[in-house]
Amino acid sequence: MENLFADQNQQALFSVAPLAVRMRPRTIDELVGQENAVGQGTWLRTAIETDTLSSIILFGPAGTGKTTLARIIAGMTKADFTEVSAISGGVSDLRRVIERATNSLTYQGRRTILFVDEIHRFSRSQQDALLHAVEDRVLVLIGATTENPYFEVNTPLLSRSRVIEFTALTDADIDAILTDALTSERGLAGTFTLTQEAQSAIVTLSGGDARAALTTLELAAEVAASQGSTAIDTDQVRDASPSRQLPYDKQGDVHYDVISAFIKSMRGSDPDAAVYWLARMIEGGEDPKFIARRILIFASEDIGNADPQALLIAHAAFKAAESIGYPECRINLSQAAIYMALAPKSNSAVNAISIAQADVRRGSLRAVPNHLRDRNRPGSENYGRYVYPHTDERGYVEQQYLPDGLERGAFYQPGERGWESYRTDAVTRDRVEAAEAAAATGSESAAEAAAATAAETGADALESEDTPLVASHALAAPAPKPPDPAPEQPDSAPDGARQHQPERCEENADL
């Protein structure tokens, strides 16, 4: 009699259950998709069919069959099957389960399978409470999670389990599930028809989630019924699901996958791809300041001085996201993302600072060259000569700036594109011209020295018949006046320039 009432209660509950619950597969053969996980010949399917299952963690997107597989195992196994909620269950609940499992194994020789849905919601202490029972096989754990278990599940518990990854269902999988739901006695039982366009719309809207697809079908059928129709078209589907439910978790794997695709698309100079992934983040409710920060970092890391304007554009986009917010700041973010994708690329800035930091951490302790040291201390007059670059008409002077043991080019390797390439070529050209000018000045000085020597021996040289012709020419023409040397500034810049320099403080210690 008790069983009769229990069956009646089950039937009553089943009749009012959602379509997604009524259509839940009851055997492995009814499970659609996940061939890599539970297909013929896989370890998991063999373990289920032979009832030799060990602890597993089922990991994958929502609506892909993780909970369904756990219930299929519950129906096939001879072991006791217990389910604990990761939301409401506590350590005391787990200890009671472990105690019952120990008694069942000890006195009846029956194993216990514990199913924990959304196991990533368990605290560390709750997960730790399972460690010894799982390790000793007092119970077999089946954990299900939409989050990456390698980040969300304790490493000791993870090492005692096998991770099985479920993937989003394909369009063909969703299509097959919808077709079955339309005709199955557990589903709509042939009461409604679904146009091909409407079925394709549900497949697209589902995003690989079988539960979402069946829910949309059920709601669309209710809309059609309220209109006195048994044919479901795209209008009813649109009314049932006005917006597409894309999988996006701001703290999960999809979040990191999409932002990674966004950055790589800008780096690959593909504005269409950059805007698409930007739209995915916006539609997923991503914080606009997070997106803007990534663009701001990208401007220096991947564009750098190939287009210095990119940093200003990125900063403006960040300020817009900060002060305007959604929905309008999507336009600013789109403009910035497109600009970054179209800009010339250079990673020389990030490479230079990375190499320099590596040398600072692991290289020799290199002293500051004396002529670059701060001169606001006693004895600084012995540091050597520092030449102030602005006193030179070229705006720079060749002197040692790197510490001993390092040479120019040790860290910075300029890119070959954009403004950076132009400036590198200009600086190189200026240095070559300066070197040529210095060489020419050195030759003139040598000639002047020879002329002075000849003048000192004047009369003796003229009286000799062996006097070289070049000597007589040198005596005939007065020596040109040598150029004025650049003023030496051992202590400070000229007064006119010094007044623009900040006072010495911790922020400006390099002065």
Alpha-carbon gap, residue 18 to 33, rounded angstroms = 21
Mean pLDDT, the chain, whole residue set: 82
Distances in Å between the alpha carbon of 388 and those of 202, 236, 439, 487? 73, 78, 22, 9
Answer whether 178's CB lies under 8 Å from 202's CB. Answer: yes
Picking from 340, 311, 345, 339, the residue whose alpha carbon sits closest to that of residue 421 is 345
Integer angstrom CA distances of residue 150 from 57, 165, 253, 402, 494: 10, 12, 11, 45, 63
Question: What's the pLDDT tens digit per position in 338-377?
Answer: 999 999 999 999 999 999 999 999 988 899 999 999 988 8
How sure is the predictor about 12, in pLDDT bands with cuts at 50, 70 and 90? Answer: low
Identify the weakest region by mean pLDDT among 62-66, 267-271, 301-305, 336-340: 62-66
At residue 352, φ and ψ (nearest 5 deg) are -60, -50
Residue listed under structure tokens 């966004």 = 262
Q: How confident is the model at residue 134 (pLDDT cuts 50, 70, 90)?
A: very high
pTM of the model: 0.59
User: Span 320-336, mean pLDDT?
Assistant: 93
Nearest to 18 by CA among 236, 183, 186: 186
pLDDT tens digits, 68-120: 999 999 889 888 999 888 877 788 888 999 999 999 999 998 899 999 988 98
Say if residues 198 and 217 touch (Cβ distance below 8 Å).
no
Q: DSSP of 224-250, one letter per residue? A: HHHTT-SEE-HHHHHHH-SS------T
Closest CA to 252 of 124, 56, 60, 123: 60
Q: Is the pLDDT of residue 461 over 80?
A: no
Long-range contacts of 299-303 (CB under 8 A, 24+ apart): 299/340, 300/349, 300/350, 301/347, 301/349, 301/350, 302/266, 302/267, 302/340, 302/345, 302/346, 302/347, 302/350, 303/340, 303/343, 303/344, 303/345, 303/346
Model confidence pLDDT, tens digit, residues 31-55: 999 999 999 999 999 999 999 999 9
Q: If you average pLDDT over residues 195-208, what whole number do you get?
A: 89
Please report which residue ranges of 65-194 form alpha helices under DSSP H.
66-76, 91-103, 124-128, 131-135, 149-152, 155-159, 171-183
Residues 6+ apart with CB under 8 A from 499: none
